[in-house]
């Protein structure tokens, strides 16, 4: 996989140094933190190969924007400053955090020019870590190791690739880094080098202004390469060190939807490996998507093609059937979720059985030993211990007590066209099939509703309530015949 390390194809006028930082720089309130490093995230790339109206760094990986992954990794360092260099207002508008400074790069003349835009927001006394908004899998542990390697000089995150095409090569002399040469500017001998530049580096901030002013765009792409400061550092006797990531995937960037899909699977494979390492059984580790945080107890089993969004917690011995989608759900121990269930913003008690084909909507809470069966939808309702709704029912804005049986085809009519109303069903109620409860209505404890009842008034406790038209049979009646 190759990665283009420059940020624009717009050609600036030729000259000895990049244009100065623009005055049009946006800044939110910046929070001072503990760690002695600035972080600059370059996120102004146009992303033309994405063929999208959405800025590249806002495309989602594991349910959140690429840039959000990088910001999260940066925050783990507790930096003095985080500055994002952006090119489109949609990027800045997507993040409302007060600990981020925003520097606009417009026009875009390369990575060196991009870093120049961030200079007004950097503390000169601490080094600056340069990250990329389209490299989402970088880990904080790797960044800490890179910062430690920099000392008082420059440190570059490098990686050895079997196929280094498209990357800047690390040119060493006597074992020390001498310079970085881009693919289009490399000689055949330099193109044979397998150690490449990831683009991530730590530089002494006090030196940046003078180094950036000396960059030239005399290269194949006529851009100001940030990587050229390595040669400037060597020329001044500033030490240049290197560090390597735990995995090559930490350095891979996104330039196309194909590369985004590949990184998604890399990320999901890492999550699957962590889950199995903690004792979770996955029917197929290649067919799971975690788009948030998934916490699992002991002996949890997850079948294929399940999607977990937001924060999901699965208790001990929970089983999730195939093709379920769970978002912001807590499921207690021993519960079994059958295949093809959709669940969102809900709490599921212990030893329940849900599905298949059930939909549990926001505001639902099931107590212990509840059964919610096939093609049952529950919304903004509580269902007490031991109660059952096993077939083809809609339960909305309802409070159901303990040991209630909800027959097939039952509907709580909770919406009058303008407002929602509550239904209360007390303990030990039996509701016959094809019953409609027109809210607001209450069913007393121990009551029975006959099949086909339309309940418009409260049903008294311990009585049978039936609402039906009288059954009539008409002798001699004949079915209509279609006219010729």
What's the rounded Cα separation, in Å, for the pair 467 and 424? 18
State the pLDDT at residue 35: 52
Structure token digits, residue 299: 């002996």
Which residues of the chain form CATH 3.90.550.10?
38-251
Alpha carbon 104 to its chain centroid, in Å, reads 25
Q: Determine the average pLDDT of the residues in 25-52.
A: 73
pLDDT > 90: percent of the chain: 83
- Give the H/E segment covering residue 207: helix 205-213
What's the rounded Cα separation, in Å, for the pair 127 and 147? 8
Higher pLDDT, 7 or 294: 294
Range from 10-19, 192-201, 254-263, 317-326 carrying the lowest mean pLDDT: 10-19
- At residue 238, the 3 state secondary structure works out as coil
- Which neighbouring-strand residues pair with 364? 346
Which residues of the chain form CATH 2.160.10.10?
257-465
Give the chain's mean pLDDT.
Answer: 91
| pLDDT over threshold 80, residue 27 | no
Q: Determine the average pLDDT of the residues in 439-455.
A: 97
Cβ atoms of 66 and 47 closer than 8 Å: no
- Give the H/E segment covering residue 188: helix 188-191
Range from 8-12, 161-165, 207-211 carrying the lowest mean pLDDT: 8-12
Q: Determine the average pLDDT of the residues in 322-335.
A: 98
70 pLDDT tier (thresholds 50, 70, 90): very high
15 pLDDT tier (thresholds 50, 70, 90): very low
| pLDDT over threshold 80, residue 34 | no
State the pLDDT at residue 45: 86
Residue among 278, 310, 272 nearest 297 (CA): 278
Q: Determine the average pLDDT of the residues in 113-136.
A: 96
Domain 257-465, CATH among 2.40.50.100, 2.30.40.10, 2.160.10.10, 3.30.300.30? 2.160.10.10
pLDDT tens by residue, 402-436: 999 999 999 999 999 999 999 999 999 999 999 99
What's the rounded Cα separation, in Å, for the pair 277 and 402? 39
Structure token digits, residue 44: 């102004």
| pLDDT over threshold 80, residue 151 | yes
Alpha carbon 270 to its chain centroid, in Å, reads 15
pLDDT > 70: percent of the chain: 93
- Residue 73 sits at the vertex; the CA angle it makes with 68 and 75, to the nearest 5 degrees, is 95
Sort residue 175 into left (φ over 0), alpha (ψ -120 to 50) or beta.
left
- At residue 90, the 3 state secondary structure works out as helix
8 pLDDT tier (thresholds 50, 70, 90): very low
Residue among 423, 429, 375 nearest 401 (CA): 429
Q: Determine the average pLDDT of the residues in 230-255.
A: 94
Task: State the catalytic residue, choosing from 270, 342, 391, 421.
Answer: 391
The CATH number assigned to the domain with range 38-251 reads 3.90.550.10
State the pLDDT at residue 300: 98
Residue among 122, 110, 93, 127 nearest 10 (CA): 110
Q: What crossing angle do the helices spanning 140-150 and 66-75 adopt, rounded to 10°?
A: 50
- Give the H/E segment covering residue 71: helix 66-75
pLDDT tens by residue, 360-391: 999 999 999 999 999 999 999 999 999 999 99
| pLDDT over threshold 90, residue 225 | no
- At residue 24, the 3 state secondary structure works out as coil
Half-sphere exposure (Cβ direction) of 80: Cα atoms closer than 13 Å: 13
What are the phi and psi torsion angles at 120 (to 5°)?
-60, -15
State the pLDDT at residue 7: 26
Q: What crossing angle do the helices spanning 111-118 and 205-213 adopt, rounded to 10°?
A: 130
What's the rounded Cα separation, in Å, for the pair 337 and 323? 11
pLDDT tens by residue, 243-295: 999 999 999 999 999 999 999 999 999 999 999 999 999 999 999 999 999 99
Q: Across 233-335, where does the E strand assignment appear?
A: 240-243, 281-282, 288-296, 301-302, 306-314, 319-320, 325-331
| Residue 371 annotated as catalytic | no
């Amino acid at each position: 996989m190759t990665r283009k390390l420059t940020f624009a194809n717009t050609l600036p006028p030729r000259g000895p140094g990049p244009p100065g930082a623009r005055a049009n720089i946006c800044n939110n309130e910046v929070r001072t933190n503990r760690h002695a490093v600035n972080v600059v995230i370059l996120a102004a790339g146009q992303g033309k190969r994405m063929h999208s109206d959405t800025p590249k760094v806002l495309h989602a990986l594991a349910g959140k924007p690429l840039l959000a992954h990088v910001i999260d990794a940066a925050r783990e360092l507790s930096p003095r400053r985080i500055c994002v260099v952006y090119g489109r207002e949609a990027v800045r508008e997507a993040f409302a955090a007060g600990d981020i400074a925003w520097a606009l790069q417009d026009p875009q003349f390369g990575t060196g020019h991009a870093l120049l835009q961030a200079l007004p927001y950097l503390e000169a006394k601490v080094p600056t870590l340069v990250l990329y908004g389209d490299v989402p899998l970088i880990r904080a542990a790797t960044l800490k190791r890179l910062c430690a390697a920099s000392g008082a000089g420059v440190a570059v995150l490098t990686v050895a690739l079997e196929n280094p095409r498209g990357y800047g090569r690390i040119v060493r002399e006597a074992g020390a880094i001498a310079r970085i040469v881009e693919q289009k500017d490399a000689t055949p001998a330099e193109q044979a080098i397998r150690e490449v530049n990831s683009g991530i580096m730590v530089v002494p901030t006090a030196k940046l202004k003078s180094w950036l002013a000396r960059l030239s765009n005399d290269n194949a792409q006529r851009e100001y390469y940030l990587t050229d400061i390595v040669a400037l550092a060597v020329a001044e006797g500033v030490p240049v060190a290197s560090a390597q990531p735990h995995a090559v995937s930490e350095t891979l960037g996104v330039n196309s939807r194909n590369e985004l899909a590949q990184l998604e699977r890399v990320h999901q494979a890492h999550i699957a490996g962590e889950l199995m390492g903690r004792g979770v059984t996955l029917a197929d580790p290649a067919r799971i998507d975690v788009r948030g945080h998934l916490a699992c107890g002991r002996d949890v089993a997850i079948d294929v093609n399940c999607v977990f969004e937001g924060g999901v917690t699965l208790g001990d011995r929970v089983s999730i059937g195939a093709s379920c989608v769970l978002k912001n759900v807590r499921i207690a121990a021993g519960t079994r979720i059958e295949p093809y269930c959709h669940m969102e913003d809900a709490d599921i008690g212990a030893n329940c059985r849900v599905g298949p084909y059930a939909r549990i909507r926001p505001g639902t809470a099931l107590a212990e030993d509840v059964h919610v069966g096939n093609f049952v939808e529950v919304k903004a309702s509580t269902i007490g211990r031991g109660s059952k709704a096993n077939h083809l029912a809609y339960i909305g804005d309802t409070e159901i007590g303990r040991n209630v049986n909800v027959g097939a085809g039952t509907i709580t009519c909770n919406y009058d066209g303008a407002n929602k109303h509550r239904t209360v069903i007390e303990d030990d109620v039996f509701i016959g099939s094809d019953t409609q409860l027109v809210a607001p209505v209450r069913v007393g404890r121990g009551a029975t509703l006959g099949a086909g009842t339309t309940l418009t008034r409260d049903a008294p406790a311990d009585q049978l309530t039936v609402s039906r038209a009288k059954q009539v049979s008409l002798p001699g009646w004949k079915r209509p015949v279609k006219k010729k």
